[in-house]
Amino acid sequence: MARDIEDSYEWFFRAEFPQVVRSAYLVVYDREAARDVAQEAFVQVLRHWKRISKYDKPEAWVRRVAIRLAVKVAKKQRTLTPLIEDHDTPATQGMSDPDLARAVAKLPGNQRAAVVLFYFEDRPVSEIADILECSQATAKVHLHRARKRLAELLGEEVLVDVS
Amino acid sequence: MSLDARLKQGLNNLAAPIDVDYELGLVRVQAVARRRERRNVMIAAFAGAAAALALLAGGGRLADMVLGIEAPLPSVDNPNVDEDLGVDETRFDEEGDGDRVVQDDELRVDEALDLSDPRQVDGGRTDIAGLANGSSDYVSTSKPAASETDPTQGKQELPSRSERFESQNYTPVNSSVATSGQATCSNGENGACFEFQARDDDRYVTVDIEDASGAPVYAWVQQNVDGDPQSDGGWTDFCASTSDPIPITPGAVVRIMLDSGTCDGADSSPTNGTITVTFLNRL
């Protein structure tokens, strides 16, 4: 039985870890920090795996922890250092859309997390609310404000709001 | 292209180049989880023993004071919740059974009972940082940072505890070097050498070595502080895992040396495996 639990955790880890690292990166914009965040989240999952493995959506649990940690890191970065300058830097070299990267980096932590979960992970608003530990109305507000801010920064028009 | 389409495509392109070595990640996660489990067992044992002694010595009130260390703390609205990315625990109350969300403060209380804190443990152990800074003893008690004890500075709050981990794999080639007495380090020292860069706020290190054979591997830890090929100061040897966090010089390279030696009464025979180093900013 213990072996089954270990195997199921390894299977879960392999299935979810890469995506969690990438999602964390899109929130913190730092590869090392993203890996630290993802690893910390999976350490916590491992400690409670016997229970979490029985949930309908254990992937939501690990994302809740990872995104929460990532938002904390992102808040600290916002206060202490600019993430990406308003001109091309080594950080934006090679990016296909550096303007987008800079614009998303300027969003507050929760708005950035909502954008990542909605556009990168294709999650519905109900799951975003669950992961961000807020109401669905609040999740929609995060998305609405994020899209409005991004449109201003990128000179784009917001045509349709999220449902 | 609409904003939505641009966001979708742009974020996917941003994240795509991020390399993820999940094998290495899995080993790291398992090593850290095991270490924390060992620490929690020690803390629970200490708290239980302290409560039992208090009951014998002073009766219920003293025992309550001891056990009160583990009393629940305020939850998510606690304004003292640390915002740093530190050791954090959350529980998802999906079952609706009243699980509370545990914040950083609770762990800070638990860490007050951490037996690996040299200030709470009698005797000395190798202090790499002290030795690298010129101490002549190979065994000394680690001193707390000046800001924590200098009375002229008043009582200062400790930073929240954080840890990060890094790993490197070793191969049978490294292992043969380790056991043959040949050298791979530029300093000419025997053994297979693996270097990890400490950051400016890394003050302690622990090491775990997972060998594919399952057997413990002999190794030792040292630092290169001044950047020349030679390692500096003292060293700590161990089998498989270091027993206590080792003080280090922040910002300097930490060297882990696989070497020939004896573990559990048998010659250490590394095959291939992973070295995981955990850096801590405080105990």
With beta carbons less than 8 A apart as the criterion, state whether B256 and B207 touch.
yes
Residues 6+ apart with CB under 8 A from B122: none
pLDDT tens for the 283 residues of chain B, in order: 788 888 898 898 888 888 788 888 888 888 888 888 877 777 777 777 777 777 777 655 555 555 554 433 333 333 333 333 333 333 333 333 333 333 333 333 333 333 343 333 333 334 444 433 433 332 333 344 444 444 444 556 677 778 888 888 887 666 666 555 444 454 555 557 888 889 999 999 999 988 888 888 888 888 877 766 666 767 788 888 888 889 899 998 898 888 767 787 777 878 888 888 999 988 8
Nearest to B6 by CA among A18, A156, A47: A156
For B219, the token pair is 């190794």
What local confidence, expressed as pLDDT, does residue B178 receive? 57
Q: Which whole-number Å values give the CA distances from A141 to A51, A105, A106, B76, B247, in the listed order?
A: 32, 18, 17, 22, 47
Question: What is the pLDDT at residue B183?
Answer: 40
Q: Which of B19, B29, B93 to mutate to test the interface with A (most CBs of A within 10 A)?
A: B29
- Which residue carries 């250490």 as its tokens? B268
Task: With beta carbons under 8 A apart, name residues in chain A contacting B13.
Answer: 95-97
Give the one of A35, A36, A158 whose C-beta lies nearest to B3's C-beta: A158
Q: In this predicted structure, what is the pLDDT of residue A158?
A: 66
Q: Which residues, 6 or more positions from B230, have their beta carbon under 8 angstroms from its beta carbon?
A: B187, B224
From B30, which residue of chain A is nearest by alpha-carbon distance?
A43
Least Cα separation, residue B14 to chain A (angstroms): 7
- Taking only residues 64 to 83 of chain A, the set having a beta carbon closer than 8 angstroms to any beta carbon of chain B reads 64-65, 68-69, 72-73, 75-76
Test B18 with A115 for CB contact under 8 angstroms.
no
What values do phi and psi take at A122, rounded to 5?
A: 55, 40
A159 contacts chain B (CB < 8 A)? yes
Query: Tell me, what's the pLDDT at A116?
Result: 94
Return d(Cα A107, Cα A104) in angstroms, integer: 5
Minimal CA–CA distance to B33: which of A25, A132, A32, A6?
Answer: A6
Say what the pLDDT of residue B230 is. Answer: 65
Type of residue at B45: A
Strands, sheet with B218-224, edge to edge from the N-terminal-most edge strand = B192-197, B253-258, B218-224, B232-239
Q: Is A14 on the interface with B (CB under 8 A)?
A: yes
- Residue B200, judged by CB atoms within 10 A of its CB (0-12, 13-18, 19+), counts as exposed
Residue of chain B minimizing CA distance to A160: B4
Facing residue for B29 by CB, picked from A43, A65, A104: A43
Pairwise CA distance, residues B195 & B146, whole Å: 28
Residue in this structure with the two tokens 């002073």, named with its chain if needed? B58
Give the CA-trace dihedral at B213, B219, B224, B227, to 10 degrees. Answer: -50
Do residues B204 and B248 touch, judged by C-beta distance below 8 A?
A: yes
Q: For residue A37, what is the nearest residue in chain B, using CA coordinates?
A: B85
- Within 8 A of B11 by CB-CB distance, chain A residues are 26, 100, 104, 115-116, 119-120
> Which pair of structure tokens corresponds to residue B227?
């950047």
Q: Do A65 and B90 touch (CB under 8 A)?
A: yes
Q: Read off the pLDDT of residues A120-135 as tens digits, 9 standing for 90 and up.
A: 999 999 989 888 888 8
Rounded-to-integer distance, Cα A38 and Cα A69, Å: 9
The pLDDT of residue A89 is above 90: no
| pTM for this predicted structure | 0.55
Residue B96 backbone class (left: φ over 0; alpha: ψ -120 to 50; beta: rest): left
Q: What is the pLDDT of residue A40?
A: 92
Residues 1-30 of B with CB under 8 A from A: 2-4, 6-15, 17-18, 20, 22, 25-26, 28-30
Bridge partners, residue B247, by sequence: B204
Residue in B11, B20, B89 closest to A26 by CB: B11
- Verify whether the Cβ–Cβ distance B7 to A43 is below 8 Å: no
Identify whether the C-beta of residue B240 lies closer than 8 Å to the C-beta of residue B162.
Answer: no
Is the separation of the CB atoms in B103 and B76 below 8 Å? Answer: yes
**pLDDT at position A13 over 90:** yes
Check if A92 contacts B (Cβ < 8 Å): no
Cβ contacts of A43 on chain B, cutoff 8 Å: 29, 32-33, 36
Cβ-based contacts under 8 A for chains A and B: 121
Q: Which of A34-38, A113-117, A125-129, B220-224 has the lowest mean pLDDT?
A: B220-224
A47-88 pLDDT tens trace:
889 888 888 888 888 998 999 899 888 877 654 455 555 555
CB A161 within 8 A of CB A147: yes
A95 vs B: CB within 8 A: yes
Kindly list the residues from chain A whose CB atom is less than 8 angstroms away from the CB atom of residue B198: none
Chain A residues within an 8 Å CB radius of B25:
13, 17, 21, 35, 38-39, 42
Angle, alpha carbons A47-B218-B268 (nearest 5°): 110
Q: Is B36 on the interface with A (CB under 8 A)?
A: yes
